[in-house]
A and B are shown apart, each in its own frame.
Chain A
Amino acid sequence: MLLERIFTTDFFFSVLRITAPILFATLGAVIGEKAGISNIGLEGIMMISALFGSLTAYWSGSWAMGVLLALLIGILVSLLMGFFSFNLKTDIILTGVAVNMIGSGGTLFLVKVITQLTEGSAMASTTSLITKSLQTPSVNIPLLKDIPVLGGILSGHSVLTYLAFLLVFFTWVMLYRTPLGLNIRSVGENPNAAASVGVSVLRIRYIAIGFSGAMAGLGGAYMSMYYAMGWSQDMVAGRGFIALAAQAMGAGEPFGAMLAALVFGLAQALGIKVSSLGADSNLVSPIPYLVTILGLVIFALVARSRTQRRHSAAALASAAGK
């Protein structure tokens, strides 16, 4: 049976593994968007963090240092984006495009300069630097791992995978249960109103974009220190952009966006599985991107019919009132 060959325990395990980096970036997009910031630089931030994370892990001999530095680089780059966008009034989308340029070509420049690896003209990468011991470690969850199917799917992931899903909850708590979250949402909803009650809009925006960059930084660390061994050119491959779509499909809410990210993870895992069964990889690789477009369309259609229904219900109610 083809379906049995596809939907194995390993397959669902890989869905979670593939979803995690998208989820990190998605949370970054969610927090940014809540503060009214469209952070399209997530892709570039992930590339830059992935590079410096893997280099630091190599130099320090510790994966934790690598992850920490990736996180810090993510925050640093996003704060720089903030400086250009909030203080110098560069359009946030253009700032993002610039960060993505640095992420795709600039990182290659840096890796050549830093590691002196110039084999070929474009083959520089840090794949030779990251060994098994520098990967973020996998964790077996004590009781869970003994449960038959579920254990195989949920246990044995990287610490970062668990962190990604935990952060969904923490992001929700931060946005809806803390004063900071209230301020972030109010700045995104109406900056003038927020300013009028004494919220420092600039400060809140910096904090929000900093969070956004931190998430992308973790996503970058995941890419170069767990998903793949080391950094290589264009390794993020649009995950930062897919995250923007997941954010939109999840209506900007952490849990909804997590579900959307899982859909993309599923699509990508399916693609990898199908191509391992013999399908052309060039035919399978665009699936996540196509699913993104379809997902956005379906989401928009559903949202539209929902508002229409609400409007007609309101019209009926007011007609009945007369």
Chain B
Amino acid sequence: MNKRQSLLFSLIRGGAAIFIALLVTTFLIFISADAPDGASFGAAVSAKLSLTGGALRQLLIGPAFRANGSISVKNLSDILASMIPIIFTGLATCVMFSANQFNLGAEGGVMLGAFTGALAAIYLDLPAGLLAVVCVLIAAASVGVMMLIPAVLKARLGVSEMVNSLMLNYVVMYLIKYLLNTYLADKSKGQIQSYPFRAGAAIPQLVDNGSKLSWGFVVALAFVVITALFMYRTRWGYAIRMIGINQDFAMYSGMKVGGIVILSQVLGGVLAGMGGSIEMLGRYTTFSWGALPGYGWTGITVAILAGNNPAFVPLAAFFMAYLNKGCNLMSTYSGVPAQLIDIIQALIFLFFAAEQFLSRYRQKLVVRNTQAELAAKATPAEGSVK
């Protein structure tokens, strides 16, 4: 199969995965739509169908267009703004999964990064501009250090990084809640929140329409390029991908596998930490998260959709952010619970990651292609004999 066909196949496969997910979604919306009480069966079905149609419209078209058909700038900038953290967690997951390290700690990493970034933004006295940069760097470093725990334990003792990173998520969450409630909360406020950040720590907004689309978006895109270059154009990136493909081979060809295992997870932590702090400083003015934000899990979906290739992360992040916005609109206007997004996400995820999904079709393509190639070769060969 040549490159163009293989790309075409990936597109068809991705399209089919999304189509199946949307089919199931439609079915779920249809079930959850309320039929008017006492209506006959036919009337109830038709009422449900029209409700389903309206909900689907909100889900699929709502994020981009207003009811009158014009493009909704506010919705689109909302979507771009919500891409910021999941681009970072997506990149983090790409790096870690590329090395076959199933570290699921991006979730806790985002929260820790947001927290340490917020602390720096409250208590450090630095000139504006510089402060924001320092906050993000501190956040990145702190999560990098956190990831040393599962990384070193995996590299030195062979302890499952997956279980450890999952456990760390909970530890981080409770620790932050404890510190916030006990020492850092602004007691003059009704809800549990920190003191406000210094003005100089805020990340400036790109558009001033309340979408919270900050310069963090540009930074996120810059890190997409940096991560892609790192993974495909440097020795370390190559090493990370190699131990992901065949760890034994990498070891016998002289790579220091332990070091690379640690490197990949620490880099993942650094990216997640940046994402958390940029989200915090770009969107909020005080720290008030009381639970894990969920960006880590969405990041895993994003990485799977992008095939662990950093270059495709923005596209995948846009897709997830778009669907998420659609689900929110749908729950506002049609009363379908917004948590439908988790089911859609899981379904798309499952089919995207399924290697054998549509494999028969792929097989047919390969066979047809090879036959065509053989026939093409055979014709000139016959001609030369004559």
Docked pose: A214 CA to B159 CA in angstroms: 27
Q: Which residues of the other chain, B, contact A90 by a CB distance below 8 angstroms?
A: 350, 353-355
List the B residue with the shortest CB-CB distance to A97: B300
Q: Provide the A262-287 mask, 1 if CB < 8 A to any CB of B, else 0.
A: 00000000000000000010110110
B112 to chain A, nearest CB (A): 13
B157 close to A (CB within 8 Å): yes
B349 touches A97 (CB 8 A): yes
**Could you tell me the dominant secondary structure of chain B's interface residues?**
helix
A193 close to B (CB within 8 Å): no
B16 close to A (CB within 8 Å): no
Given contacts A89-B355, A98-B349, A301-B157, contact A112 B339 (CB under 8 A): yes
A282 touches B177 (CB 8 A): yes
A174 close to B (CB within 8 Å): no
Interface residues in chain B, defined as those with a beta carbon under 8 Å from any beta carbon in chain A? 28, 31-32, 102, 104, 149, 153, 157-160, 162-164, 166-168, 170-171, 173-175, 177-178, 181-182, 297, 300-301, 304, 336-337, 339-343, 345-347, 349-351, 353-357
A304 touches B157 (CB 8 A): yes
Which of A113, A244, A245 is packed against the most chain B CB atoms within 10 Å? A113
A256 close to B (CB within 8 Å): no
B32 touches A40 (CB 8 A): no
Docked pose: A280 CA to B286 CA in angstroms: 23
Q: Which residues of the other chain, B, contact A40 by a CB distance below 8 angstroms?
A: 162
A108 touches B337 (CB 8 A): yes
Q: Which residues of the other chain, A, contact B171 by a CB distance below 8 angstroms?
A: 286, 289-290, 293
Given contacts A109-B339, A280-B182, contact A89 B354 (CB under 8 A): yes
B284 to chain A, nearest CB (A): 19
Q: Which residues of the other chain, A, contact B162 by a CB distance below 8 angstroms?
A: 38, 40, 93, 244
Query: B160 touches which one: A109, A244, A304 (CB < 8 A)?
Result: A244
B106 to chain A, nearest CB (A): 12
B74 to chain A, nearest CB (A): 22
A267 to chain B, nearest CB (A): 12
A133 close to B (CB within 8 Å): no
List the B residue with the shortest CB-CB distance to A284: B174
What are the 4 A-B residue pairs with the smallest beta carbon separation, nearest first? Answer: A105-B342, A88-B354, A282-B178, A109-B339
A293 touches B167 (CB 8 A): yes
Docked pose: A118 CA to B337 CA in angstroms: 9
Q: Which residues of the other chain, B, contact A109 by a CB distance below 8 angstroms?
A: 28, 337, 339-340, 342-343
List the A residue with the shortest CB-CB distance to B331: A121
Cross-chain pairs A/B with CB under 8 angstroms, 11 sampled: A95-B350, A101-B342, A101-B343, A118-B337, A248-B160, A280-B178, A282-B175, A283-B178, A289-B170, A297-B153, A304-B157
